[in-house]
Amino acid sequence: MKVKVHAFELGFINPFSISRETQLTSKTVVVELEDDGVVAYGETTPDSYYGQSQADIINVLEGAQDLLDGLSLRDITPDELWTLTHNHFGRFSFAQCGLDIAAYDLWGKLNDKPVYDLLGLDVKKPIITDYTIGLDEIAVMIQKMEKFAGWPVFKVKLGTNKDIDIIRALRERTEATFRVDANCAWGVEETIRNSIVMKELGVEFIEQPIPAENWEGMKEVLRKSALPVIADESCIVEADVDRCAGYFHGINIKLTKCGGMTPALRMIKKAKELGLKLMVGCMGESTIGISAIAHLAPLLDYVDMDSTLLLDEDLADGLTFDQGHAVYTSKPGLGFKTTF
């Protein structure tokens, strides 16, 4: 197999803000994997919060070529490739994610089947993604939501001293389900207070309310919260799933953070064994990365794969959304066609 790496910087339609930062663009890395003349693609997005820069990701991926020489996905499966290359990637799980997604796309193309078929999953049932409303002035957040009037689920970024006011203002204008994400910005008592009010306002769950390192605080939140709490920054790699079971009601798996579809599938299996609710979320990916999430969606309770709706440019065509409902293609692999 041969690997090539492409770097992009995609603009957001609007500045995208969470409690700790504002982004104007999303840097992304696309992995091109070729096997016996068949070309496939994967994607990963750098993130300084997790110490994964675009330059590091590119260097690590380009350095994987020696490991790929002599290997073919006609002879091994993507999860076997993940294991064979894991030591090379080490802490750079974001880089391994890009290669792993490309491997699944290639696996499907070599077998002339969609990946969801190869995984034995049914995408005929309704699969709904939320639409994320980034932090902003309340009037601007209302405008963002009203552009997607009729969308069934909104994920609202919070982490201000006006969070209750934000949810109340949004609730006045829609009956949609709300999910809220504080990205570690709240305290323990603040989370508990907010959960009581937000439950009355039709919020479904709270994602990562307090800092990831405050495990003792999460014990109290778990006991007293009026709403389910879902781990994000506290759940990065496979080893975190067991720990989260005693502190959260569910986990949000990010393919970029954990290293791709292969470890995500293992995390899903473990979480189900532990009785945890399951979500997979996005981090600014184009349709390439979002398509990988979509092929796992039948296994999940909640899906957050809306980043292509937040970007003013894309790198592929394929997966689309109809009022929140995912519309799949039947093309082999992950079902997209690149546009670059």
CATH code, 85 = 3.30.390.10
* Same domain? 276 vs 143: yes
State the pLDDT at residue 314.
Answer: 97
* Same domain? 71 vs 155: no
State the pLDDT at residue 250.
Answer: 98
CATH code, 269 = 3.20.20.120
* Same domain? 257 vs 287: yes
Tens place of pLDDT per residue across the chain (340 aa): 999 999 999 999 999 999 999 999 999 999 999 999 999 999 999 999 999 999 999 999 999 999 999 999 999 999 999 999 999 999 999 999 999 999 999 999 999 999 999 999 999 999 999 999 999 999 999 999 999 999 999 999 999 999 999 999 999 999 999 999 999 999 999 999 999 999 999 999 999 999 999 999 999 999 999 999 999 999 999 999 999 999 999 999 999 999 999 999 999 999 999 999 999 999 999 999 999 999 999 999 999 999 999 999 999 999 999 999 999 999 999 999 999 9
Residue 258 DSSP label: H
* Same domain? 135 vs 217: yes
* Same domain? 122 vs 108: no
Q: Are strands 131-133 and 38-44 parallel, antiparallel or unpaired?
A: unpaired
Sign of CA dihedral 166, 167, 170, 172: negative
CA distance 294 to 314: 16
Query: What is the number of other CB atoms lying within 10 angstroms of the CB of residue 283?
Result: 20
Rg (CA), the chain: 19
* Same domain? 260 vs 276: yes
Residue at a domain's end among 112, 138, 168? 112
* Same domain? 202 vs 227: yes
Tell me how far CA of residue 318 lies from CA of 147, 290, 292, 332, 336, in angstroms: 22, 10, 12, 11, 4
Residue 27 DSSP label: E
pTM given for the model: 0.97
Domain of residue 86 covers 2-112
If one counts the domains in the chain, the total is: 2
From the list 155, 158, 35, 162, the residue with the least C-alpha distance to 104 is 35
Q: Using an 8 Å Cβ cutoff, are 45 and 285 in contact? A: yes
CA distance 195 to 211: 17
* Same domain? 254 vs 181: yes
